[in-house]
């Protein structure tokens, strides 16, 4: 499927899935004004083109620390390293940038031991890594349940409102998952639209118990459903990681501005000299240039910007339980 093959209904369905990826096709059909069969057929077609709808455990709600690692390698080492990191359950996003000599990786750790095992253990002992810097994610301005497709204008505001799930009512404190919750999130990490019968088989619980747990995890913000689709097929062939050095007094205002930009899929405050990181998508290099000059360039408090085009995305959000 090429980008020009996506029509209005495809774009509407992608945005609808981002709003509530577990909504039944009948609900999508009613809002979009088509039949259930049409929605199901379009969904299968998008899946054949690479669409994935997955359940993701919210790292912050689950008390997991998040890190962004930049690994500069010799040219022959970057791809094998990226592929090896992608197989680890504690990595959630991996991309190759900077002419294929840098691997960027986001990871989550349940405790200091898991963090140190990756950052100070395996990576430090990996040959052909020239340099390594690790940046703790301090505050997310945009990302997680607020996926990039939420910014699409394919749906009318009334349609988007009709599809919105019940609001999250986060509980105070860190959420601790039991083994059944872990099994549930692990199954949803493979297929966010898995049926209750499939989740029952994965958790060995009754369908009513699975439904209650699923609704509870979503209601308290421990679980959200994410949409993954190749942005090039959507017409956005240029992706870049932006490292912004921002005056501390302007962190909040710059972060809020980035969150409102249509181009930004993720933005977070991080530790380090470059204290804000963002991932943005563009149709071409001309759009990237205009974004840097017309939107980033006018933000008060931005002192410096490093732009690293993403040459290949190796891994994107997934949840894999670790028992």
pLDDT, tens digit (0-9, with 9 covering 90-100), for 176-206: 889 999 999 999 999 999 999 999 999 999 9
Higher pLDDT, 16 or 83: 16
Residue 323: predicted pLDDT: 37
pLDDT at residue 78 tops 80: yes
- Is 253 inside a domain boundary? yes
The predicted model gives 66-83 an average pLDDT of 87
- Is 200 inside a domain boundary? no
Say what the pTM is. Answer: 0.87
- Is 14 inside a domain boundary? no
Residue 120: predicted pLDDT: 65
The predicted model gives 293-313 an average pLDDT of 95
pLDDT at residue 320 tops 60: no
Report pLDDT digits (tens) over 18-64.
999 999 999 999 999 999 999 999 999 999 999 999 999 888 888 87
Which residues constitute the domain of residue 263?
A: 141-146+234-312
**Predicted confidence band at 322 (pLDDT cuts at 50, 70, 90)?**
very low
Three-state SS string over the chain comes to CCHHHCCHHHHHHHHHHHHCCCCCHHHHHHHHCCCHHHHHHHHHHHHHCCCEEEEEECCCCCCCEEEEEEEEECCCCHHHHHHHHHCCCCEEEEEEEHHHCEEEEEEEECCHHHHHHHHHHHCCCCCCEEEEEEEEEEEEEECCCCCHHHHCCCCCHHHHHHHCCCCCCCCCCCCCCCHHHHHHHHHHHHCCCCCHHHHHHHHCCCHHHHHHHHHHHHHCCCEEEEEECCCCCCCCCEEEEEEEEECHHHHHHHHHHHHHCCCEEEEEEECCCCCEEEEEEECCHHHHHHHHHHHHCCCCCEEEEEEEEEEEEEECCCCCCCC
Report pLDDT digits (tens) over 130-164.
888 889 999 999 998 888 988 989 999 999 999 99
Report pLDDT digits (tens) over 83-104.
888 888 778 889 998 777 899 9
Q: What is the CATH number of the domain that holds 259?
A: 3.30.70.920
- Is 238 inside a domain boundary? yes
Residue 209: predicted pLDDT: 96
Report pLDDT digits (tens) over 217-252.
999 989 999 999 988 888 899 999 999 999 999 999
- Is 30 inside a domain boundary? no
- Is 85 inside a domain boundary? no
- Is 263 inside a domain boundary? yes
Overall number of domains in the chain: 1
Residue 37: predicted pLDDT: 97
- Is 303 inside a domain boundary? yes
């Amino acid at each position: 499927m090429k980008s020009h093959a996506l029509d209005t209904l495809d774009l509407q369905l992608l945005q609808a899935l981002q709003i509530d990826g577990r909504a039944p096709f009948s609900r999508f059909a009613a809002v979009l004004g088509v039949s259930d069969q049409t929605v199901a057929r379009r969904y299968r077609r998008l899946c054949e083109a690479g669409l994935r709808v997955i359940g993701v455990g919210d790292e912050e709600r689950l008390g997991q620390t998040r890190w962004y690692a930049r690994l500069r390698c010799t040219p022959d080492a970057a791809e094998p390293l990226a592929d090896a990191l992608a197989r680890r359950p504690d990595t959630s996003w991996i991309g190759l940038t900077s002419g294929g000599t840098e691997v960027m990786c986001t990871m989550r750790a349940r405790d200091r031991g898991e963090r140190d095992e990756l950052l100070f253990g395996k990576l430090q002992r990996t040959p052909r890594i020239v340099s390594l810097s690790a940046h703790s994610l301090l505050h997310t301005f945009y990302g997680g349940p607020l996926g990039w497709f939420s910014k699409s204008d394919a749906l009318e505001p009334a349609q988007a409102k009709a599809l919105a799930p019940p609001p999250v009512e986060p509980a105070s404190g860190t959420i601790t998952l039991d083994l059944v919750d872990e099994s549930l999130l692990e199954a949803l990490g493979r297929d966010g639209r898995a049926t209750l019968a499939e989740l029952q088989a994965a958790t060995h619980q009754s369908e009513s118990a699975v439904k209650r747990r699923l609704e509870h995890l979503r209601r308290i913000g421990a679980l959200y459903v994410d949409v993954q689709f190749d942005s090039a097929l959507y017409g956005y062939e240029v992706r870049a990681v932006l490292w912004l050095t921002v005056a501390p007094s302007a962190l909040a205002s710059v972060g809020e501005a980035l969150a409102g930009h249509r181009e930004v899929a993720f933005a977070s405050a991080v530790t380090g000299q470059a204290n804000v990181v963002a991932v943005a998508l563009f149709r071409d290099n001309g759009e990237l240039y205009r974004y840097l000059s017309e939107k980033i360039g006018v933000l008060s408090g931005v002192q410096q910007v490093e732009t690293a085009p993403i040459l290949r995305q190796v891994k994107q959000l997934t949840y894999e339980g670790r028992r």
